[in-house]
Amino acid sequence: MNARMTNPAAVLPDSMTAIQNLIKAAKKGGVPETVLELVHLRASQINGCGFCVDLGARQARTSGVSDEKLHAVAAWRETPYFSDAERAALALAEAATRLADRSDPVPDDVWNEAADHFDEKQLASIVLWIATTNFFNRINVTVKQPAGVTDW
């Protein structure tokens, strides 16, 4: 498999600095890295980004996410492996990724459940992480970035 083009962040290198700064900022919100990695993986699964699913699973494992959770993240509602906080973050990730699926894309019950587990700074981190993941998904799906290829 070959990408349609060099990754746009490599073609326009100034964008990489901005992207890296956004990633750093989102990671400073006090959310456990394992939660951020689960959120990234779930949004990437929804968007069908093979590159991000592959990389996300690797990063999740490195951050300490168990194999049980990695194998079950797509069916997190039907498995016992996730904490209530992780479930709230995953529900928020799904809602914020599937904006066109309903008239109230991120309903109050989803938001309120997340707010029960995370403070405002943590919620900001999760929301930025979801948005950043969707940003990466859209780039990588559009250019058909192959999984496992990170030489850009």
What are the start-end ranges of the H helices in 27-75? 33-47, 50-63, 67-72
CATH architecture designation of domain 29-143: Up-down Bundle (1.20)
pLDDT on residue 151:
58
Residue range 78-90, pLDDT digits in tens:
999 999 999 999 9
Q: Give the residue among 23, 28, 35, 30 at the shortest CA–CA distance from 133.
A: 23
**Tally: H helices and E strands in the chain:** 8, 0
**Which pLDDT does position 1 carry in this prediction?**
80
Running along the chain, 152 residues long, what does each successive block of 10 average in pLDDT? 90 91 96 98 98 96 97 98 98 97 96 98 98 96 89 56
The answer to whether residues 130 and 89 touch, using CB atoms and an 8 Å cutoff, is: no
pTM of the model: 0.94
Sign of CA dihedral 116, 118, 124, 127: negative
Q: What is the DSSP string of 19-38?
A: HHHHHHHHTTSS--HHHHHH
Domain ranges for the chain, please list them.
29-143
Other beta carbons within 10 angstroms of residue 130's beta carbon come to: 24
Q: For residues 36 and 24, is the Cβ–Cβ distance under 8 A?
A: no
